[in-house]
Amino acid sequence: MRLITAIVRPHRYEAVRDALSEIGVTGITASQVTGFGRQRGQTEMYRGAEYEVKEIPKIKIEVAVPSSLLEKALDTITKSAETGKIGDGKIFVSSLSGAVRIRTGERDEKALI
């Protein structure tokens, strides 16, 4: 099992969510977050005045998937989140040593389905 953490642009979240649902991902956790990458923020204009925004708003998506679905999920997130511009985001993959569905007590991959 793997835990995928993806940081994406807010306006791309719905496309990512819908695409993951289409490939069989049954659960997604999403959070509004802020941060910066290599660009260290961005410059914006407001009423003719230029100001610098240090942290950029993003959506953090967390998805637990069976190892057999990992590559398909990564391709799906990449294709649906990409705009081709700096700041599209990142995807992190972690090993998941266990999962338990609280209601039924099912464990590991059975708890993900």
Q: Say how far apart CA 15 and CA 110 lie, in whole Å.
A: 27
Domain boundary assignment for the chain: 2-112
pLDDT for the residue 2: 95
Fold of 2-112: Alpha-Beta Plaits (3.30.70)
**Structure pTM?**
0.85
Listed in sequence order, the residues at least 6 apart from 5 whose beta carbon sits closer than 8 Å to its beta carbon are: 60, 61, 62, 91, 92, 93, 94
Q: What is the pLDDT of residues 46-89, one digit of tens each?
A: 677 776 777 889 999 999 999 999 999 999 999 999 999 888 89
Encoded amino acid at 75, one letter: D
